[in-house]
Structure 1
């Protein structure tokens, strides 16, 4: 069974975990709605880049 020969130091452990953080999602301000919206997503009105792409029922 593989067992570490030495204890992993705090610095080594924290350096490895630097990439485990949560990232910030792409958010942009929509001047038409006056709210923030996620980039590359359809807004609640069914529009994307100023065009109607989805009809609401």
Structure 2
């Protein structure tokens, strides 16, 4: 098993550990209806993706 050649400072350890923290999901607005939608996901409100109609969404009346 590999062994570190030099001691890692606390700052270096904490900097490395900081990249493993939780990040909030990035939301984009839908180009058709303006709803908040995650990237690379079909809009659940209007059913469009990159300006194209992908799925039919039932109208709630």
What TM-score, normalized by structure 1, do the two folds share?
Answer: 0.53
Partner of 1:28, secondary structure, is strand
Bigger Cα displacement from structure 2, 10-19 vs 46-55: 10-19
What TM-score, normalized by structure 2, do the two folds share?
Answer: 0.51
- Cα RMSD of the aligned pairs, angstroms, is 2.8
Structure 1 unaligned blocks of 5 or more: 1-7
Q: Greater helix percent: which structure?
A: 1
Work out whether residues 42 and 49 of structure 2, in 8 Å CA contact, stay in contact via their aligned partners in 1: yes
Partner of 2:19, secondary structure, is helix
Structure 2 unaligned blocks of 5 or more: 1-7
Aligned residue number for residue 25 of structure 1: 25
| Number of aligned positions between the proteins | 51
Partner of 2:37, secondary structure, is strand
